[in-house]
């Protein structure tokens, strides 16, 4: 097994990232050693160029994201932790795969439609070809499994399509260059929604900070955000079916269940008939209890820029070595002469 996944270092790590992806990364890292596999986790700083950005902020966010991932439990001695910018093979392989990816496939990507919005003509080329870089990220390492939230499923399907077409077009049947990766999407917290709108996913790009819980929020901020979260006037139902048509209520119950590592049914059994006046303080306290240790580690780690750079430096050296054979094979399969 080879686990590979990434996160954009644009802004804070939020609860959606944590429950949808990072907590799974940590679990996989802790479980995989006995199976003889390994994990690579990276900061998708090249992906961050797809949207307008401030260079100095990208640099500091990249280091902060390393601190946040380590605070969450990613161990740079056991997992390979790095940023794309220090491993040029990502950008190289993207170009090689651009010959295989089809316009029609990329035209169907919902993230491009969401992020370009009404301004399609003004969107960057990088935003359009973003999923090809994402395919390169995982194919480069022969990833077998990619832990992500629900929103990345379509990109992973595209990576499989690209790999399959490349193998068919350029490789002998018994010697494919790329492994087809499987997404691993958590059954419970695959899609954490905004605290202000139960139909929008919790996201770093939402202009309202009240819409998300950041892993850097202190206890008072967390309690306040939960208190102000949008809900409805009804009490909580006794069964999951009673949450139908109540997206905000369903989201808060889902967050509680994911944090408590239990199911919706168990949470509803405890809170059936109770209003949000009782449920919200309980959820706020649970959030504070789970996030406070992460927050404390993060605050300590973020101060040591030298240590954070050293983690990335070491991770990138490992990643470059792991990437080389696949990149070489891709060049060779395409008939590119390299001396």
Nearest approach in angstroms of CB 181 to ligand TYM is: 8
Nearest approach in angstroms of CB 174 to ligand TYM is: 28
Which is nearer to ligand TYM, 49 or 307 (by Cβ)?
49
Nearest approach in angstroms of CB 149 to ligand TYM is: 2
> Does residue 152 interact with ligand TYM by CB under 6 A?
yes
Nearest approach in angstroms of CB 134 to ligand TYM is: 4
Nearest residue to ligand TYM, scored by beta-carbon proximity: 20
Count of residues engaged in binding ligand TYM, rule: CB under 6 A: 24
3-state secondary structure the chain: CEEEEEECCCCCCEHHHHHHHHHHHHHHHHHHHHHCCEEEEEECCCHHHHCCCCHHHHHHHHHHHHHHHHHHCCCCCCCEEEEHHHCCHHHHHHHHHHCCCCHHHHHCCHHHHHHHCCCHHHCCHHHHHHHHHHHHHHHCCCCCEEECCHHHHHHHHHHHHHHHHHHHHHCCCCCCCCCCCEEECCCCCCCCECCCCCCCECCCCCCCHHHCCECCCCHHHHHHHHHHCCCCCCCCCCCHHHHCCCHHHHHHHHHHHHHHCCCHHHHHHHHCCCCHHHHHHHHHHHHHHHHHHHHHHHHHHCCCHHHHHHHHHHHHHHHHHHHHHHHHHHHHHCCCCCC
Applying CB under 6 A, the span of 2-10, 114-122, 223-231, 278-286 interacting with ligand TYM comes to 2-10
> Does residue 211 interact with ligand TYM by CB under 6 A?
no
Order the strands of the 182-184 sheet from edge to edge.
80-83, 38-43, 2-7, 145-147, 182-184
Q: Interface residues for ligand TYM in 250-289 (CB under 6 A)?
A: none
Which is nearer to ligand TYM, 201 or 302 (by Cβ)?
201
Which is nearer to ligand TYM, 177 or 192 (by Cβ)?
192
Applying CB under 6 A, the span of 1-9, 33-41, 273-281, 315-323 interacting with ligand TYM comes to 1-9
Which is nearer to ligand TYM, 207 or 339 (by Cβ)?
207
Q: Yes or no: say if 191 and 150 are a contact pair by the CB < 8 Å rule.
A: yes
Nearest approach in angstroms of CB 146 to ligand TYM is: 5
Q: Between vectors from CA 304 to CA 300 and to CA 306, what angle results, nearest 5°?
A: 160
Active-site positions? Answer: 115, 201, 204
Q: Interface residues for ligand TYM in 84-143 (CB under 6 A)?
A: 134, 137-138
Applying CB under 6 A, the span of 51-59, 144-152, 267-275, 279-287 interacting with ligand TYM comes to 144-152
Residue with tokens 């499923």: 153
Nearest approach in angstroms of CB 275 to ligand TYM is: 26
> Does residue 149 interact with ligand TYM by CB under 6 A?
yes
Q: Between vectors from CA 81 to CA 218 and to CA 76, what angle results, nearest 5°?
A: 80
Which is nearer to ligand TYM, 109 or 282 (by Cβ)?
109
Between CA 324 and CA 298 the distance in angstroms is: 33
Among 127, 148, 236, 253, binds ligand TYM (CB under 6 A): 148
Q: Interface residues for ligand TYM in 4-63 (CB under 6 A)?
A: 5-8, 16-17, 20-21, 44, 47
Which is nearer to ligand TYM, 17 or 231 (by Cβ)?
17
Q: Interface residues for ligand TYM in 182-201 (CB under 6 A)?
A: 190-192, 201
Which is nearer to ligand TYM, 190 or 311 (by Cβ)?
190
Question: Which positions touch ligand TYM (CB under 6 A)?
Answer: 5-8, 16-17, 20-21, 44, 47, 134, 137-138, 146, 148-149, 151-152, 190-192, 201-203
């Amino acid at each position: 097994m080879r686990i590979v996944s990434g996160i954009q270092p644009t802004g804070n790590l939020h609860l959606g990232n944590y429950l949808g992806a990072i907590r799974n990364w940590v679990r996989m890292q802790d479980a995989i050693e006995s199976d003889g596999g390994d994990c690579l986790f990276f900061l998708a700083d090249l992906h961050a160029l797809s949207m307008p950005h401030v260079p100095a902020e990208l640099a500091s966010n990249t280091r902060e994201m390393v601190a946040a991932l380590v605070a969450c439990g990613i161990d740079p001695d056991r997992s390979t932790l790095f940023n794309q910018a220090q491993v040029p093979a990502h950008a190289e392989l993207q170009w090689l795969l651009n010959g295989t990816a089809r316009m029609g496939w990329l035209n169907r990507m919902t993230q491009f439609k969401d992020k370009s919005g009404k301004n399609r003509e003004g969107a960057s080329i990088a935003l359009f070809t973003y999923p090809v870089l994402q395919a390169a990220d995982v194919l480069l390492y022969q990833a077998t499994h990619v832990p992500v939230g629900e929103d990345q499923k379509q990109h992973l399907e595209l990576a499989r399509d690209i790999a399959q077409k490349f193998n068919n077009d350029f490789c002998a049947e018994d010697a494919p260059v790329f492994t087809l990766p499987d997404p691993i999407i958590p059954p419970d917290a695959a899609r954490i929604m905004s605290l202000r709108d139960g139909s929008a996913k919790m996201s770093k790009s939402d202009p309202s900070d009240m819409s998300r819980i950041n892993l850097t929020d202190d206890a008072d901020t967390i309690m306040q955000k939960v208190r102000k979260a949008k809900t409805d006037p009804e009490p909580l139902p006794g069964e999951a079916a009673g949450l139908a048509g109540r997206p905000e209520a369903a989201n808060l119950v889902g967050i509680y269940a994911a944090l408590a590592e239990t199911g919706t049914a168990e949470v509803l059994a405890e809170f059936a008939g109770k209003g949000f006046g009782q449920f919200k303080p309980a959820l706020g306290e649970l959030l504070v209890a789970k996030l406070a240790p992460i927050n404390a580690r993060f605050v300590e780690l973020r101060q040591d820029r030298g240590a954070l750079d050293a983690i990335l430096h070491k991770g990138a050296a490992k990643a470059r070595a792991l990437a080389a054979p696949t990149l070489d094979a891709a060049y060779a399969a395409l008939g590119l002469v390299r001396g």
